[in-house]
Amino acid sequence: MESRERTPEWLKKRLVVKSANLSATKKILAEFRINTVCESALCPNLNECYSRNKATFLILGPACTRACCFCSVEKGSPGTIDVKEPERITKAIKSLGTRYAVVTSVTRDDLPDGGAAQYAKVIRAIKALSEDIKVEVLVPDFKARQSSIEKVLDAGADVFSHNIETVGRLYSVVRKGADYTRSLMILKLAKYIVPRQITKSAILVGLGETESEVGQVMTDIKAAGCDILAIGQYMQPSKDNLPVQRFVAPDEFERYRDLGKRLGFKSVMAGPFVRSSYMAEDSYNSMEGKYNDGSEVAAVGGRG
């Protein structure tokens, strides 16, 4: 499959990569046998993030039990859970000097709890290393099992994230095995269980949706109680993934950012290279406003 449009100038990323840091990050990740979504999903921000000693940890194995057509993560049988994984991740975090850890996973429909217990172990291991380290988790849908969501929340993550990814109309094409209403329910349940829990989601544009549909999914995500939203351009990671239907212009991202603020999100990041875990610490630090229960969120530095 090939992209249907020529890549525009605004998607030709120009950045200064600190080669020594990039190499050091790769060495640390290899030493502790850490999987990252940066590599598995062929993220366009990999070199930039690695050169800043940042990576998004991918737990529960490298293979996903689902086959979403937009994602290049390996599909298949993930195998057994590595009981040493939480320990290896904390060692990598210590070596990298990580102060804001982002943890995600493949989908594990083969596990009774979807892998929630492993998330909880990783969160607790990081917090045991230092309570000052912020932890953001980006979880699969757990088939909307409340008990699985409770396991993750009880472990004390600072940010609980679940990506909606695309508009409802495209779920059957883009997210086979997932359900739009069920994904929204994950965010709703997190807020229901812990009203002060900071929640986050992300969507990709350029998959065939209309601007009005993006507005609707943003409205739906906010109605689910979500605090932080990230919106980025879908980029075809490999020839086996869905082609890009449209490259979204910077001014459209500006409109999404403005709409997000009007809808009441505490932080909105929107731009071609934005991803859920990209600049996650900045997004967290830029929050302002109130929690759903009415208590204050301190307005701190950073850009939304």
Q: Which domain holds residue 179?
A: 17-297
Q: What is the mean pLDDT of the chain?
A: 87
pTM, two decimals, is 0.89
Residue 245, domain member (yes or no): yes
Residue 4, domain member (yes or no): no
Most confident of 100-104, 281-285, 296-300: 100-104
Strand partners, 64: 75
pLDDT at 170: 93
At position 183, the amino acid (one-letter code) is S
Tens digit of pLDDT for each residue in 128-138? 999 999 999 99
pLDDT at 61: 83
Helix (H, G, I), strand (E, B) or coil at 133: coil
Residue 92, domain member (yes or no): yes
For residue 240, name the pLDDT band (cuts at 50, 70, 90). Answer: confident
Residue 304, domain member (yes or no): no
Long-range contacts of 238-242 (CB under 8 A, 24+ apart): 238/42, 238/72, 239/1, 239/2, 240/1, 240/72, 241/1, 241/69, 241/70, 241/71, 241/72, 242/1, 242/69, 242/70, 242/173, 242/174, 242/207
> Regarding beta strands 296-297 and 289-290, do their DSSP bridges make them parallel or antiparallel, or are they unpaired?
antiparallel
For residue 304, name the pLDDT band (cuts at 50, 70, 90). Answer: very low
At position 91, the amino acid (one-letter code) is K
For residue 46, name the pLDDT band (cuts at 50, 70, 90). Answer: confident
At position 180, the amino acid (one-letter code) is Y
pLDDT at 295: 56
Query: Where is 261: in which H helix or E strand?
Result: helix 250-263
Residue 173, domain member (yes or no): yes
**Count of all residues that appear for the chain in the document:** 304
Residue 197, domain member (yes or no): yes
Q: How far apart are the first and last CA of the chain?
A: 34
For residue 72, name the pLDDT band (cuts at 50, 70, 90). Answer: low
| Residue 9, C-beta contacts closer than 8 angstroms, at least 6 positions apart | none
Strands of 198-205's sheet, edge to edge? Answer: 56-59, 100-105, 134-138, 159-161, 198-205, 228-233, 267-270
Count of beta carbons in the 10 Å neighbourhood of residue 229: 30
Residue 147, domain member (yes or no): yes
The percentage of the chain sitting over the pLDDT mark of 70, rounded to a whole number, equals 87
Question: Which of 15-24, 145-154, 211-220 shows the lowest per-residue confidence on average (mean pLDDT)?
Answer: 15-24
Answer yes or no: is pLDDT of 150 > 60.
yes
pLDDT at 67: 65
Helix (H, G, I), strand (E, B) or coil at 42: coil
Residue 259, domain member (yes or no): yes
- What are the strands, taking DSSP E only, across the chain? 56-59, 100-105, 134-138, 159-161, 198-205, 228-233, 267-270, 289-290, 296-297
Structural domains in the chain (count)? 1
Question: What is the domain-level CATH number for residue 259?
Answer: 3.20.20.70
